Chains A and B, each alone.
Chain A
Amino acid sequence: MNRAFLGMPTAPRGTGHLRGSEPFPAAARSALADSQLRHNLANATATIRAKREAVVAELPDWEDLRTAGQAIKDGALNRLDSYLVQLEGQVTARGGVVHWARDADEANRLIADLVRQSGAAEVVKVKSIVTDEIGLNDALAAAGITAHETDLAELIVQLGHDRPSHILVPAIHRNRAEIRKIFLREMAGVDPDLSDSPAALTAAARGYLRRRFLSARVGISGVNFAVAETGTLCVVESEGNGRMCLTLPETLITVMGIEKVIPSWRDLEVFLQLLPRSSTGERMNPYTSMWTGVTPGDGPQHVHLVLLDNGRTAALADETGRQALHCIRCSACLNVCPVYERVGGHAYGSVYPGPIGAILSPQLTGVEDNASLPYASSLCGACYQVCPVKIDIPSVLVHLRARHVEQVAADRRMPTAEAVTMAAAAWVMASPRRWAAAQRASRMGRLAGREGRLRSLPPPLSAWTVSRDAPAPPAQTFRQWWKARSGDTS
């Protein structure tokens, strides 16, 4: 196996939000017990799924677009070194300043310094998932700077002292009654008679945010695409709040994972078709903002771009795993995932939840720090089917499981119980004679069965019989039947 990725720097422990506090099965158990959460998620994902399916079906060349998206991302990652330098050159030539950050700690320090230099004590933020990855808000707070989230869902999460649970709709786990309560509790000056109608909630948020947009001197954003050829940065969003953040402040600091670079302006043609249909189920994205360096007298006059690694190079070194870096954060895989639909995003412990998170987070942190995530899937394949850039998520999950198993075997002197069981099973199955003998032995269990069903099994199979009966072995295996039928007495 290719072990080239070993030794590559991963995202540092103790900073940011890529690691959960407990393994997935334990976190999932708490989530499953929350019936309100399951109701909110089932409703929301079913709605987005249906919208996506309808608009994707409209395009006869959808499969070609997916193939193109995959090819462009593949090409960009294969020559990432030159595209990033090209991007840096173009941004710099147009009056922007480019910074390189190897990890979360370096990026946070750098950004806090930039805000301090501007003299501002408050910042407005949009497209915040990457800054949430590195825990920027906490780092800014420690530097005495207050960060205001301006995406409506991010605002709900921030005011609720909560964590985002979805890539596109971070407050998907909340319904409007809950949002009303959060606004009444946390939003200074809100109408005490606020209703939970979407229009009333939106108006309250608008009033609250406008004041911040108009006073903010620094904006901090993520980015959807960065065009190497021109140095253009692109943010797509649905509310227009992003447009405010990107245009009103004097200083704009944009943080991008290094995998966001695309070679040419024309490549946007593909992604601006794939992304809205896959994410919000819209034909066209409502607000698409693009800026190239500084435009004198128009918009931010101090433009910074922070290029963030934070484990991405480690992911890039894994031939199978690197396709996770193709992701354009549409969240279609979350919306179709039967596991995500039942447990929500918090159970994954990372800002990147769902199937894409289960392959991205362990690569950014090192598999040992997110070892339960590659197993958080039934491998049903629904994610691969909808991915607009054709990331073969099930294959990467299986690959990361193998990486984990091999690492555990290398790190431990004694094999785990599971490793012993798997080795024994492989040994038995490697010989038809041993296999037939094992089948005969398994039939001893028949004695315990009633009407061909077993209601309890010993560990680890007891996890099965908690909710499911197990079949009792039949009187005759298939191969015994075959031998008897064909008169074979060997």
Chain B
Amino acid sequence: MRRPENQRRPLPAAARAADAVRIALFVTCLADTLFPEAGKATVRLLERLGHQVDFPQAQTCCGQMHVNTGYVRHARQLVKRYSDVFAGYEAIVVPSGSCTASVRHQHALVARRCGDEALAARATAVAARTWELSQFLTAVLEVEDVGAYYPHQVTYHPTCHSLRMLAVGDAPLRLLRRVRGLDLVELPDAESCCGFGGTFALKNADVSTAMLSDKMRNVLATGAEVCTAGDSSCLMHIGGGLSRLRAGVRTVHLAEILAATQESP
């Protein structure tokens, strides 16, 4: 398995704790359209920690849906857009493990498959400065206590790509443990996939649903009132299933929990 990214690459000198970092937010197409609260929370959280956040409005999508469904050539222009839009930023922060993994592990491959070595080189450089939120907080900013307050019982689902492609490890749990008022309940069989898998959820809806059923059973077994994760996509899947069951458990993005304070819950 790959070593954690933060052990592989030295941190950018200007991006260490205590220095204010100019950060670009890559909000992802999904959060932009359907889960804006995850994006807003990321902005509020990073600003509260003393950093300046920019949202380059020319951004759209990382192209993962195209790549993973087999439409690699269509993804080329999205890879190019991402590389262009974020070229000038020191750090790009993403409230999604899956989209970060796509930028880190797929962008250069897409460019190469399309025979565009120049784009591959640019994509690799931008990918090296692209961070999943929890990894950015713990490995780059070196904070665990972000000053959050969230008086609820919460269980955490480690999403597959954050866990296996980015090796975030227990970074999200370390952040959650320092949230005041939060009662963290361990999720049984946590590392098992929820069954989302992008277009897998449509093409293999029956298997996807079988996987979701087991994930929901485990979430419900914790008795938690909130299920959190670092990916809006997996939360959309788990939350969509729980809503259909009228289970009453809410799905909330990790960024929203970390952004919540006593003054502004």
Among A109-117, A183-191, A398-406, the one that faces the other chain is A398-406
Check B77 for interface membership: any CB of A closer than 8 A: yes
- A28 lies within 8 A of B200 (CB): no
Query: What size tier do the contact residues of chain B reach?
Result: 35 or more
Q: For A26, give the chain B residue with the smallest CB separation.
A: B206
CA distance A429 to B67 in the complex (A): 14
- Write out, one digit per residue, whether chain A residues 458-488 have a CB within 8 A of any chain B CB (1) or not (0): 0011011011111101101111011100001
Check B160 for interface membership: any CB of A closer than 8 A: yes
CA distance A342 to B55 in the complex (A): 42
Check A215 for interface membership: any CB of B closer than 8 A: no
- B74 lies within 8 A of A426 (CB): yes
Q: For B110, give the chain A residue with the smallest CB separation.
A: A402
A455 cross-chain contacts in B, Cβ below 8 A: 244
Among A137-145, A303-311, A372-380, the one that faces the other chain is A372-380
- A467 lies within 8 A of B205 (CB): yes
A488 cross-chain contacts in B, Cβ below 8 A: 57
- Write out, one digit per residue, whether chain B residues 162-205 have a CB within 8 A of any chain A CB (1) or not (0): 01110000000000000000000000000111011111111111
Which residue in A377, A382, A385, A432 is a CB contact (below 8 Å) of B200?
A377
Q: For B37, give the chain A residue with the smallest CB separation.
A: A474
Query: What size tier do the contact residues of chain A reach?
Result: 35 or more
> Within the complex, what minimum Cβ distance (angstroms) separates A6 from chain B?
16
Check B68 for interface membership: any CB of A closer than 8 A: yes
CA distance A251 to B89 in the complex (A): 70
A28 cross-chain contacts in B, Cβ below 8 A: 204, 206-207
Given A468-B212, A473-B33, A478 contacting B193 (CB threshold 8 A): no
B209 cross-chain contacts in A, Cβ below 8 A: 466-468
- A432 lies within 8 A of B205 (CB): no
> Within the complex, what minimum Cβ distance (angstroms) separates B109 from chain A?
8
Q: Is the interface of B mostly helix, strand, loop or mixed?
A: helix
Most chain B beta-carbon neighbours within 10 Å: one of A376, A402, A432: A402
Among A121-129, A148-156, A417-425, the one that faces the other chain is A417-425
- B240 lies within 8 A of A470 (CB): yes
Which residue in B34, B43, B68, B207 is a CB contact (below 8 Å) of A398?
B68
Check A430 for interface membership: any CB of B closer than 8 A: yes
- B34 lies within 8 A of A474 (CB): yes
A419 cross-chain contacts in B, Cβ below 8 A: 71
Q: Is the interface of A mostly helix, strand, loop or mixed?
A: helix
CA distance A381 to B191 in the complex (A): 11
CA distance A425 to B109 in the complex (A): 21
Check B20 for interface membership: any CB of A closer than 8 A: no
Check B48 for interface membership: any CB of A closer than 8 A: no
CA distance A32 to B209 in the complex (A): 10
CA distance A354 to B32 in the complex (A): 35
CA distance A4 to B189 in the complex (A): 43
> Within the complex, what minimum Cβ distance (angstroms) separates B58 from chain A?
5
B65 cross-chain contacts in A, Cβ below 8 A: 425
Mark out the residues of chain B between 226 and 249 whose CB falls within 8 Å of any chain A CB in the assembled complex. 236-237, 239-241, 243-244
- A463 lies within 8 A of B205 (CB): yes
Which residue in A384, A431, A471 is a CB contact (below 8 Å) of B35?
A471
A426 cross-chain contacts in B, Cβ below 8 A: 63, 66, 71, 74-75, 77-78
- Write out, one digit per residue, whether chain B residues 33-46 have a CB within 8 A of any chain A CB (1) or not (0): 11111011001000
Given A375-B203, A474-B34, A338 contacting B70 (CB threshold 8 A): no
- Write out, one digit per residue, whether chain A residues 230-244 have a CB within 8 A of any chain B CB (1) or not (0): 000000000000000
Q: For A390, give the chain B residue with the smallest CB separation.
A: B1
Q: For B232, give the chain A residue with the smallest CB separation.
A: A471
CA distance A32 to B214 in the complex (A): 13
- B208 lies within 8 A of A378 (CB): yes
A380 cross-chain contacts in B, Cβ below 8 A: 160, 164, 193, 197
- Write out, one digit per residue, whether chain A residues 325-368 have a CB within 8 A of any chain B CB (1) or not (0): 00000000000001100110000000000000000000000000
Given A28-B206, A473-B34, 13 extra CB contacts under 8 A: A24-B204, A375-B203, A380-B193, A423-B74, A429-B63, A430-B77, A439-B32, A442-B33, A469-B243, A473-B33, A474-B36, A479-B32, A483-B57
Q: Provide a sorted-by-A list of 11 A–B residue pairs whose CB atoms are within 8 angstroms.
A: A25-B206, A32-B210, A379-B200, A381-B164, A402-B67, A406-B70, A463-B202, A464-B202, A467-B244, A471-B239, A478-B32
